[in-house]
Structure 1
Amino acid sequence: MFSALRKSLASKITLSDIQENILSGLAVGVIALPLSMALAIASGVPPQHGLYTAIVAGIVIALSGGSKVNISGPTAAFVVVLLPIVQQFGIGGLLVSGFMAGIIMILMGVGKLGKLIEIVPYPVIIGFTAGIGVVIGTLQIKDFLGLNIEALNGDYLDKLLLIVSSLPTINWQELLIGALTIITLLLWPRMRSKIPGHLIALLVGSISAWLFSLLSQDFSVATIASRFHYEVNGLIGDGIPAILPAFEWPWNLPDANGNPIGLSFALIKMLLPAAITIAILGALESLLCAVVADGMSGKKHNPNDELIGQGIGNMIAPLFGGIPATAAIARTAANIKAGGSLPLASVVHSLFILGSILALTPLLAYIPMASMAALLLVVAWNMSEAKHFIHTIKVAPRDDVIVLILCFSLTVLFDMTVAVAVGMGLSALLFIRRSITLTQTTEMEKNHELHGELADNIVIYDINGPLFFGSAQKALQSISIVTPDLRVVILDMSEVNMLDMSAIVTIESIKDSLARQHIGLVINNLEPRMVVKLRRAGVRYKPGEIQFSRTIKDAVAIANEMISQ
């Protein structure tokens, strides 16, 4: 725990390092400020909760995690998971589930599951991230086009049909502002400026909306101020309250009906599946981000400590109004490129957002919702990994393509939990099928340089590959088929590197079958650890019936001796 902080404090930190990390933190803060608001809105909660997440989780995870350079906060990957929770249980249910997810992530880290990302197949990752990108993009069409839709409820197809049926209600004013924002987002990288493009795009959208409203009284678009309202300590206002995150038990916050959600075993049981989903997605996203960061920075993260840090952050953030957080790849990459090398950069990024809440909330209220939707459309496009998706379909084996398309479809039509579970299950089954084909049993020639001349009543089977529940029966079934004059069977197991219980039972069955036919069995060059397994199961040395050898020549000699008895 706290390995990133401990390593940083133990290293020689110069004044130049501190300056670079402060500047990097400020640069990332500029990027994270609008993204945190946009992702909170996309998740179905007021924008200030995204800012609170970036502040609290950004500091706590940086100090308690296992990566020096990860920047944590609200991310696009969570949107499709969090929005249904908010719609069903309100913000209170969301924060309680986030708190529970934090506990689960800590348990994952303590249980040394930090290598989790390495066992998730690439097609599964690309499939569900592309699916999430599609869902996020679809949800932004409403605000981008200014469609007259009160709420997007139901499953994905219901939402899509509602959007399509509402297309005649397009508001050209909202579309104009959204188009100006997205054009700026797409063109700004060509300017090769160090100023983040999405900051410029939001400025263009906000200033354009303000100027058009001055030119025409009929010009009006929805903004953060017109969409969101707050009441704090009797103070009522529009937009984002200019107050710091304050401690509040999550279960005191409202449910979907506006009443305090409370805390009960029944609620925990209902929220547990959502908490598990948040924990798994948060773990995958954070560890994947850390792996990418290692490649960019040349540093090495501690995966288990990173999970514990993410868990601590997700337990503390809900106590201050923060939604679930995870490491963000785009913000982490920006941090590294700007010179960030210490947790200090993440702390500075969080402090910048905290200062912005106090100083900039009146200005942030003027940001058009169409501009926020345009920003998220670009985020969704980048997240969809369209190039990698198409490339995988073109070059990957057929089995991997099936997994990719299945994970993508299930993520879009159902949810990410189902997609990952089915994708992992199918990948495992396909892996087993491929592994089975690697294990083969062949009958060696009667006259071979390894053993010399071989009597007709002796047969040698060369077994290659792992013997497990999927391959054992297939590999060993031919051994039970014997000719009338056969006296000894030799199993050359020099290249058998695994033996599970199913294989042991199969070998027991073969031993018993050969013994009933008075045929001897010689097992050659099996690794000692696997010989021990066979002995425990009763497959042990018995003169004239079963013996073990170290070389194939010794096995033939033992077989000839068995025949002569």
Structure 2
Amino acid sequence: MEYSVHSFQKDLVSGLVVGVISIPLGMAFAIASGVKPEFGIYTTIVAGILISLFGGSRYQIGGPTGAFIPILFGVVTTYGFENLLLAGFLAGVILILMGILRLGSLIKFIPKPVTVGFTSGIAIIIFVGQIPNFLGLIGVEKHESFLSNLNEIIIHIQSISVYSVITAVICLISVLLTPKIFPNIPGPLIGIIFSTLVATFLYPDHIATIGSAFGEIPNNLPQFHVPEITFERIQQLIQPAFVIAILGAIESLLSAVVADGMTDSKHNSNKELIGQGIANMITPLFSGIPATGAIARTATNIKNGAASPLSGVIHGIVVLLVLLLFAPYASKIPLASMAPILMIVAWNMSERHVFYNVLKTKTTDSLILVVTFLLTVFLNLTVAVEVGLVLAVIMFAKRMSDIMVTAKALPNPSHKHEKVESQVVTNTHDCPQFSIYNVEGPLFFGAAQTFEQTIMSSINMKPTVLLLRMGKVPFMDTTGESYFSSIVKNVSKHGIVLISGIRPQPKNLLIKTGLYDSIGEEHFFEHTGEAINYAIKQLNQNKCLGCRHFAFRECASLSGAKQQVKERKEVFTT
């Protein structure tokens, strides 16, 4: 794609807008994660530039996000800030490996109820976590447990500050009204500036600020620092690092998909993971926290005319310039001004409409959604995602096993082409020597045992020939092959097994396990008619004499009762 001066102008405008938006968000996400606000700014600068340079999406804006808040706060609380940096570094390594191994496409296999469940749960945690700052509560301690934080709010509710509430409400109203009055000006920026000015001039000594809570924000990047890496620390932090990597991969690829939908473009998922990995390896070296693709900022980038990844680079440079020139002023921002911004972020990321739509279906997806949501809120995200995925796999296996059909069948004499159907089999119309089964659906671990039991329980007459019609079996796993092999071994003791219409994947599996050769290549047929013709020749004709079932058209001559066959057909047509 040709890049022009006009394209640069568009990138410059979009980068400037997104950069201005990212400053308050970066500080707010850092504070909510339990670290100093400047670390969020460092992350926005370093990760924002690197994700745009090395990622697989033209429009992706990277930085700290709300989704990471409960995870990062848990790591800081449990292991400390230095170990958070190492966990972020390790997450970067994992993301790069995921990209090299081309695992980007696997993210699409995470069910929607799981992602909506934990996203909505994170939104609740963020929203409730900002209530103390919104109300100006004094003496509130932050805990990793949601219930403990809720209890802290209840205990300290009497310490509510009218000044904090006024400041928060001013910021909230400003953020909500700005897009309607001035659509091209970032609402969070106006909200913070306006509420800060009100608090600074009217009641400066009655409200907590970033400076009073965390100290002055330095107007420079920190020195390059490599965290100490030992085998013991890696063992200790590998689980949180893995969670950070997985969540980062999900968030960034979801954001890239949103960008694709808005621009009719196509991102490279594996390159995106590598870009995210590079950013998360380098950002901790500058005291930055884990970062990922930010859906809202990426959408804003596109809406403001971004033409290339340069807009993301410009966004990082804008934040850097603001840090160098205006950092001391940021220290005067009230904590109450940050709270409504994060509350709005939580509200927007809650996916409440999707949550309700899945919930009202009252299906297994509803169960997965609710379980993932509740575990995220009341336990932790790691357990929530693990349990949600396991539940989804179990439910999927159950649904797949339910669609597996194994039914005895015979040619329908009333059909023009004598189509093989299951409903024509009756007690008086069923060949004692030759059994045909229609097999439909995936033959995998969830359905294999039922498949075997259905056949073995209904062929107690020990037929000479068993024909399995497998044209509608798209897939077979090793468990399915094992039960399939059991049927073959049992029937082969007194007869033969024929297979018709087998598809490539099941056939290749049977070849690899040796079962194909055990059955015999001559017993595999492309069409059922060929298999039936072959089977008829294998029957004991002495047993056919006097038989009154007339399951096949050949039965007339074999049993010596052509007239009775004619009568049988007349019965089926009436």
Instruction: Tell me: CA distance 1:115–1:321, structure 2 relative to 1, closer, same or farther (3 Å).
Output: same
Structure 2 partner of 1:468: 444
Structure 2 partner of 1:285: 251
Moved more, 521-530 or 443-452: 443-452
CA contact (8 A) 2:59 2:306 kept: yes
**Match of residue 388, structure 2, among 423, 432, 435:** 423
Query: How big is the shift at 1:476?
Result: 3.1
Amino acid at match of 1:375: I
1:389 aligns with 2:321: no
Name the SS for the 1:462 alignment partner.
strand
CA contact (8 A) 1:520 1:545 kept: no
Q: Distance in 2 between matches of 1:84 and 1:401?
A: 28
Amino acid at match of 1:349: H
Amino acid at match of 2:491: L
Instruction: Tell me: CA distance 1:522–1:195, structure 2 relative to 1, closer, same or farther (3 Å).
Output: same
Structure 1 residue runs without a partner (length 5+): 1-10, 230-238, 252-262
Q: Percent identity?
A: 42
Q: Quick check: which has more Rg, 1 or 2?
A: 2
Instruction: Tell me: CA distance 1:228–1:485, structure 2 relative to 1, closer, same or farther (3 Å).
Output: closer
Structure 2 partner of 1:227: 213
Instruction: Tell me: CA distance 1:456–1:333, structure 2 relative to 1, closer, same or farther (3 Å).
Output: same
Structure 2 partner of 1:107: 97
Structure 1 partner of 2:221: 244
CA contact (8 A) 1:53 1:74 kept: yes
Relative contact order, higher structure (CA 8 A, sep 6+): 1
Cα deviation 1:398-425 (Å, max 9, x = unaligned): 1000001111111111111111111111
Cα deviation 1:309-344 (Å, max 9, x = unaligned): 000001111111111111100110000000012111
Amino acid at match of 2:83: G
1:35 aligns with 2:11: no
1:434 aligns with 2:424: no
Amino acid at match of 1:269: Q
Structure 2 partner of 1:254: none
Aligned residues: 529
Instruction: Tell me: CA distance 1:533–1:330, structure 2 relative to 1, closer, same or farther (3 Å).
Output: closer
1:131 aligns with 2:131: no
TM normalised by structure 2 equals 0.88
Moved more, 339-348 or 480-489: 480-489
CA contact (8 A) 1:49 1:323 kept: yes
Structure 1 partner of 2:470: 493
Query: How big is the shift at 1:246?
Result: 2.5
Amino acid at match of 2:419: L
Instruction: Tell me: CA distance 1:228–1:543, structure 2 relative to 1, closer, same or farther (3 Å).
Output: closer
Q: Distance in 2 between matches of 1:488 and 1:44?
A: 71
Q: Distance in 2 between matches of 1:545 and 1:52?
A: 67
Mapping 1:24-173, distance limit 5 Å: 24-173=14-163
Query: How big is the shift at 1:286?
Result: 0.4
Mapping 1:192-271, distance limit 5 Å: 192-213=182-203, 220-229=206-215, 239-251=216-228, 263-271=229-237
Amino acid at match of 1:355: L
CA contact (8 A) 1:524 1:551 kept: yes
Cα deviation 1:80-137 (Å, max 9, x = unaligned): 1101111222221111111111101000100101113211101111100000011111
Moved more, 542-551 or 115-124: 542-551
Structure 2 partner of 1:338: 304
CA contact (8 A) 1:250 1:321 kept: no
Query: How big is the shift at 1:54?
Result: 0.8
Amino acid at match of 2:214: F
**Match of residue 369, structure 2, among 404, 410, 414:** 404
**Match of residue 434, structure 2, among 438, 458, 482:** 458
Q: Distance in 2 between matches of 1:465 and 1:385?
A: 35
CA contact (8 A) 1:116 1:284 kept: no
Query: How big is the shift at 1:456?
Result: 4.7
TM normalised by structure 1 equals 0.90
Structure 2 partner of 1:534: 510
Instruction: Tell me: CA distance 1:94–1:519, structure 2 relative to 1, closer, same or farther (3 Å).
Output: same
Amino acid at match of 1:114: G
Structure 1 partner of 2:527: 551
Query: How big is the shift at 1:534?
Result: 2.6
Amino acid at match of 1:53: T
